[in-house]
Amino acid sequence: MGFASFPRSFLKRLLLIVVLVALVVMVLRFALGALTSPPTVQANAFRPLSQPAPQAEVVETGLYANNLYDLNVSSNTYYLDAYIWFKWNGKIDPVENLELTNAVEEWGLTQTVLQEESGQLPDGRQYQIMHVEGRFVHPFQLSRFPLDRQRLAITIENSLYPADKLVYVPDQQQSGYSETLAVPGWQIRGFNLQSLVHDYKTNFGEPLPASGKATYSALRYELTTERPVSYFTWKLLLPLVIVLISGWGAFLLSPRYTDSRIALPVTALLTTVFLQQSYGDSIPDVGYLVLLDKIYALAYVLIILSILEAIITADWAKADIENAFNRIIRLDRLSLVVQSLALMGG
């Protein structure tokens, strides 16, 4: 017994039920995905430095970013070329055991001290400067893609002396970044330099400290970057809006053209699937919905509603019900207004 033996009305009802179930499942999954928060960066090991220990050697540290390139969202890395300087009073050399904690590819990292011996400033403090170039890791948060803002960080820390002996404090006045620094596809929005304390949940096998934890001073330089709004508007949103508008063209057709009224939103659905796949290649696989995913989920819901209306009104048009055409036209106008407002509001 094949599908041909079933009444036509039964097959239409079956198709309608299947589409409704798919719509409900999509809405539920979209709602669950929207409510699920993206994973946050585990930065609780770092806390702001409130007050240096009285006996600690205080090192005023500055950083000037000279160039940033090869920003790779897929591998969560970027290359940074920068100068770091230190001004201090005391016997501990803050450069000797300096560690760039988020550096990767140690073989490609260069840390060049520009002075053989530390100089002396007019105020009596010692001074040293070094040139750093290498690849650094940054866990990109893409929940707001393609309107995301990233804080590209470089963290320095002394690997030998704990926070009660050596503390890095920021030189806010002289730190910054070069006016020629530019990252294709991104806009530079400023920087931040902050003194932190890194709490390790281990003493690395040493008998001290008695608390069983080691605490080291750290300094973090963050360069704030964001994608231009034009990238979102013209390259990602505009094609989707054009596809939706073409699908809404079914509401402007005469109720007599039932085949065309169904074909237009179905074509829009297929095109939307291909559009979503195209932008998916520009970001890595993540376990949460990004902003553009939510916009596409809304578009899918609107397109499926258009398909449902086209199926339902096709029966009205062929049943030769009195004033059926007028009812269909009124429903088309209402659907067009509601879907337009839903897209803009969403």
Which stretch of 21-30, 186-195, 266-275 has the lowest confidence by average pLDDT? 21-30
Residue 196 tokens read as 């932190």
* Predicted local confidence at residue 37, as pLDDT: 53
pLDDT of 77 = 94
Q: Is the pLDDT of residue 34 over 80?
A: no
Q: Average pLDDT, stretch 40-55?
A: 76
The answer to whether the predicted template modeling score (pTM) of the entire model surpasses 0.85 is no
Which one of 191-195, 231-235, 246-250 scores highest in mean pLDDT?
A: 191-195
Q: How confident is the model at residue 241 (pLDDT cuts 50, 70, 90)?
A: very high
Q: Which residue has the tokens 């080691």?
A: 214
By C-alpha distance, which of 250, 301, 292, 244 is closest to 272?
244
CA separation for the pair 101, 85 (Å, rounded): 17
Query: Where does the pLDDT of residue 116 fall: very low under 50, low under 70, confident under 90, or very high at 90 and above?
Result: confident
Task: Report the candidate in 129, 116, 140 with the shortest Cα–Cα distance to residue 82.
Answer: 129
Report the pLDDT value the prediction gives residue 342, as an integer from 0 to 100. Answer: 85
Q: 220 burial class (0-12, 13-18, 19+ CB within 10 angstroms)?
A: buried
What does the domain layout of the chain look like in residue ranges?
7-36+230-345, 46-227
Alpha-carbon span 233 to 147, nearest angstrom: 10
> Same CATH fold, 46-227 and 7-36+230-345?
no
The per-residue pLDDT for 10 is 58
**pLDDT range class, residue 174, cuts 50, 70, 90:** very high
Percentage of residues of the chain with pLDDT beyond 90: 43
- 69-83, 109-123, 291-305, 323-337: which has the minimum mean pLDDT? 323-337
- pLDDT surpassing 90 at residue 165: yes
User: pLDDT > 70: what percent of the chain?
Assistant: 83
Taking the C-alpha atoms of residue 268 and residue 277, their distance in angstroms, rounded to an integer, is: 14
The tens digit of pLDDT for each residue in 87-107 reads: 999 899 999 889 999 999 888
Task: Tell me which residue of 105, 63, 112 sits closest to 84, measured CA to CA.
Answer: 63
Task: Please work out, in degrees rounded to the nearest 5, the angle formed at the alpha carbon of residue 226 by the alpha carbons of 180 and 172.
Answer: 60
**Per-residue confidence (pLDDT) for residue 3, from 0 to 100:** 47
Q: Which CATH superfamily is domain 46-227 in?
A: Neurotransmitter-gated ion-channel ligand-binding domain (2.70.170.10)
Residue 90, sorted as left (phi over 0), alpha (psi -120 to 50) or beta, turns out to be left
Peptide bond before residue 146 is cis, with ω within 30 degrees of 0? yes
Q: Look up residue 332 and give its two tokens.
A: 């088309």
Please classify residue 244 by burial: count the beta carbons closer than 10 Å to its beta carbon, then call 0-12 exposed, 13-18 middle and 19+ buried.
buried
The rounded distance, in Å, linking the Cα atoms of 60 and 96 is 15
Q: Are 250 and 306 in contact (CB under 8 A)?
A: yes
List of E strands, 9-76: 46-48, 57-72
For the chain, the distance separating the N- and C-terminal CA atoms, rounded to the nearest angstrom, is 46
CB–CB of 61/132 below 8 Å?
Answer: no
Residue of higher predicted confidence among 40 and 281:
281
Domain 7-36+230-345 belongs in CATH node 3.50.50.60:
no
> Which residues are registered as beta bridge partners of 136?
78, 103
What is the average pLDDT across 145-164? 92
Gap between the Cα atoms of 58 and 300, Å rounded: 58
The helix/strand/coil state of 140 is coil
Q: How far apart are CA 343 and CA 346, in angstroms?
A: 5
113, β-bridge pairs: 130
Which residues have CB under 8 Å from 223's CB, separation 6+? 65, 68, 151, 152, 153, 177, 188, 191
Q: Is the pLDDT of residue 276 over 50?
A: yes
Average pLDDT score over residue span 253-274: 89
Q: What is the CA radius of gyration of the chain?
A: 30
The residue type found at 284 is: P
Residue bearing the bigger pLDDT, 82 or 276: 82
- 199 CB-side CA count, 13 A: 11
